Amino acid sequence: MTQSASRTIIIGATSPGGIYGILPFAGTLRWSMAEPGDNLDYYLDVTRPLADVGDTIASASLSVSPSGTGELQAANLTVNGSVIGWWGSGGVAGRNYLVRIDAVTAGGRTFEWFVGLLVDPRSGRGRPCPPPSAGYGTAITWTASGLPVGIYGQTTYGGSVYG
């Protein structure tokens, strides 16, 4: 599958589509607006920050706020080199979602990015009702080893820690 240029944000790039303000996330990185019925792939290219330190992604996690039934759902988190990808579906018309992406590198560095995603307000009727939870939903994760990630980015398996 080909990566969509219109749904890819390149960290450190000065091209349009990077940072702009729509309240309540003024100054936040933003993907292009979605529709409530969309099931689309989104990407965050972190090549520049990783190249600056000569490191690679060992694990990544992603969660969405607000969360709950009927809200934007995240699935299929992947890392291809230094591009983090995921699939988003659903969402409430007029709702601004905040996607939190955390990455831990092979060298032990931690990175955190927040990216906004607005669901087209023209698709709904009036103001959206309050979400079931204003907080972040359960995180989805990816690891280079395929094993679950524990505290401090260490890989865990069966209660033991493998660094």
What's the confidence (pLDDT) of residue 161? Answer: 36
What's the confidence (pLDDT) of residue 58? Answer: 97
Cβ proximity of 8 and 45 under 8 Å: yes
* pLDDT, average across residues 102-119: 95
* pLDDT, average across residues 114-132: 89
Going by pLDDT thresholds of 50, 70 and 90, the confidence category of residue 6 is confident
What tokens appear for 52 in the block? 């600056």
Higher pLDDT, 58 or 148: 58
What's the confidence (pLDDT) of residue 99? Answer: 97
Q: Which domains does the chain have, with CATH numbers?
A: 5-162 (2.60.40.1220)
* pLDDT, average across residues 55-74: 96
What's the confidence (pLDDT) of residue 157? Answer: 37
- Cis ω on the peptide bond leading into residue 24 (within 30° of 0)? yes
Rg for the chain (alpha carbons), in Å? 16
Cβ proximity of 100 and 62 under 8 Å: yes
- Cis ω on the peptide bond leading into residue 66 (within 30° of 0)? yes
* pLDDT, average across residues 55-84: 96
**pTM for the structure as a whole:** 0.81
* pLDDT, average across residues 114-121: 94
Q: What is the pLDDT of residues 13-25, one digit of tens each?
A: 754 444 443 444 4
Q: What strands, in cross-sheet order, belong to the sheet with 8-10?
A: 8-10, 39-45, 83-89, 73-80
What's the confidence (pLDDT) of residue 4? Answer: 84
Going by pLDDT thresholds of 50, 70 and 90, the confidence category of residue 110 is very high
